[in-house]
Amino acid sequence: MDQPREEIGRVHVLLERRGMAPLIADGSMRVELAKRGYAERPCDRYNLTIPMIVEQIHHEFIDAGATLIQSNTLNANRYALESSMLSARVQEINRKGVWLARAAANKTIPVAGVAGPTTRLLKPLGPISTDDLRSCFHDQISALLSARCDLIILKSFIDLDELEIAIDVVRMLSKDVPVIALKSFPEDGSVLAGNFPSDVARRLTRHGIQAMGSNGTVGPQRMLGIIESLRISDLPLVALPDVGIPTIVVGNAIYNAEPAYVAEAAIRLVEHGACIVGADGGATVEHIKAIAEATQNVLVASVQPGAPASARRQSPQSKPPNKTRFHEALDSRFVSTVELDIPRGLDMHGVLEGARYLKEAGVDAVNISDGARARLRMSPIAISKLVQDEIGMDCITHLACRDRNMVALQSEVLGAHALGVRNILAITGDPTHIGDFPVATSIYDVDAIGLVRALGRMNSGMDLMGNPFGEQTGFCIACAANPAADDLDREIERLAAKAEQGAHVAFSQPVFDEEVLDRFLDRAKSIDIKFLVGIIPLRSVRHAEFLHFEVPGMVIPLWVREKFKHAGPATEAATELGIELATSLLKTVFQRVNGVYLMPPFRKYDVAVKILNQVNLLEATHAKRR
């Protein structure tokens, strides 16, 4: 698919503009189509349904002064087209997109085949593997190249890993076609003021690209800082900011930036070394005309590469916070935790009393659930803060992915860290349709593995997308595991993924059978993670049957249920049998695990203490504390 050498050479010369006027990229096909009443998404669909209007918009951008045309194919990959049921037409949409741009350009200016992100998260955050991603980009980019675009622009990428994969696919398909790689950065001055953009630039330059830069997300003023930070090599730089921050009205983005303002910013970008300038989100024909007129006599500056002054002024990385008391104990001895019952409403008196009793008994931490079974309960972070402040006891704070999107999850855990709530157990969470509000939305932007990844990255001073936020967190990251899972291969695979993403300890679903636990531990022995065995002291045959038949993930062996049938209904004898079985299991396995996670009957915290005392675990704990 390689293009003729003379065409490739022509484009290379066009990209190198130092001492010349910049290339002017066209603006937003989406906004121009919307002005004409065509607002369905993705706008790539219109290459097939109204090709003459798409071509006419290309003509208008060229007439306005654009000297680089981009194909209307940003979202024309199989995943981005799924919602519009056009995934089967990837080749057609992309080839048509390039042909329409070429028809308008009429061989007078270069045409870029544009590819954007898939809109899907890579594993472990999402379901897409790197092989899936490569295949997706291969389908799209091969179509762009077969339609004889002059160069490839990879734009609007948030995930740097995804952008690097896309570059590699282009290079696999063509050794010669020029590639421009554009990374989108967040609208965050603290990110842009640091080393992050220059770190991005260093990674991109390893892939044999011809130019790099940024598009979208930030406005013209922020883009200037990005271009300065990306200037670490001799590669040409590209700056395509949004015209400003939009106002969302009935789901539509409304931009208020005037063309003259955007054009003045474009002059500064050229003076700081941008060889290709333009505008992205919200950029109309009028914006591009203003940019072209303002920069026609402005020469691209020859600026020496180097780290921006803002990065050189950065203060040293702060020291990571100390480990939590629970985390320190976990690293040195057998630990015990007990789950507290969380009531409805505001009265947490019983929770605090339970925590006080368990602390005095020598238990290391209490577990605070997060709306288990999708029931309405107070925030587990707030409860944990109350317990820690009033009782002085560590909490294991469960956090479900069900109720919060990936922004809110990260916001929640940052807030928890600031409050001193730092032992977080990441769970996917039960769906809302089984709970108090069955019509509520279940979010699940990420699952438990994704939340563990977010916490792990925060412990390295980054957010989920790898953007730095200046400080490292000190979370003890916990996760869940089910030794009795029907699909044990999948369970082990997921536990390994959680450990790889930063989990320090796994809390198991309740175990009732030593053989089940042994099989699981044997399969998981190569995984670098601490393990707490979960134990529920059963209280009756009805309790056992309810858990086995009605609670997902619970497996109560038949022999256990039979024992409770012989013990009769919920009597003292049945309660003692539950304590006996729990104690026996714990005595048998405690040397093979790092701790125990007890879930006693409703507010029967003395049952948990009785089990721990019978195994002499609390006495040993007290001795080690002394």
Closest by CA to 52, choosing from 96, 94, 95, 108, is 96
- Position 130 pLDDT exceeds 90: yes
CATH of domain 5-312: 3.20.20.330
Q: What is the pLDDT of residues 512-537, one digit of tens each?
A: 999 999 999 999 999 999 999 999 99
Most confident of the ranges 147-156, 180-189, 204-213, 557-566: 147-156
Query: Are 73 and 44 within 8 A, CB to CB?
Result: yes
- Cα distances (Å, whole numbers) of residue 362 to 338, 342, 453, 618: 11, 21, 32, 6
Q: What pLDDT digit, counting tens, does each position of 30-85 carry?
A: 999 999 999 898 999 999 999 999 999 999 999 999 999 999 999 999 999 998 89
Give every CB contact of residue 141 below 8 A, 6+ residues apart in sequence: 113, 115, 152, 166, 169, 170, 173
Q: What are the angstrom distances between the C-alpha of 597 and each of 152, 336, 484, 588? A: 55, 6, 16, 15
Q: Across 120-210, where does the E strand assignment appear?
A: 151-157, 179-183
For the cut 80, the answer to whether the pLDDT of residue 482 exceeds it is yes
pLDDT per position as a tens digit, 364-383: 999 999 988 778 889 999 99
Omega before 110 within 30 of 0, i.e. cis: no
Query: DSSP letters of 46-107?
Result: HHHH-HHHHHHHHHHHHHHT-SBEE-S-TT-STTTTGGGT-GGGHHHHHHHHHHHHHHHHTT
The pLDDT-based confidence of 193 (bands split at 50, 70, 90) is low
Looking at 2.40.128.520, 3.20.20.220, 3.40.50.2300, 3.40.630.40, the CATH number of the domain 325-538+592-605 comes to 3.20.20.220
Task: Quickly state the pLDDT bin for 5 (edges 50, 70, 90).
Answer: very low
pLDDT, residue 350, reads 93
Side-chain-facing half-sphere of 374: CA atoms under 13 Å: 21
Per-residue model confidence as pLDDT tens digits over 215-274: 988 888 889 888 888 888 888 999 999 988 777 666 677 777 899 999 999 999 999 989
- DSSP code for 484: T
The structural domains of the chain, with segments of one domain joined by +, span 5-312, 325-538+592-605
CA distance 207 to 205: 5
Examine the pLDDT at 601 and tell me if it is beyond 70: yes
Which residues make Cβ contacts (< 8 Å) with residue 351, sequence separation at least 6? 340, 341, 342, 343, 383, 386, 387
| pLDDT given for residue 195 in this prediction | 67
3-state secondary structure of 429: coil
**What are 109's two structure tokens?**
């200016």
Alpha carbon distance 365, 396 (integer Å): 7
pLDDT band at 315 (very low <50, low <70, confident <90, very high): very low
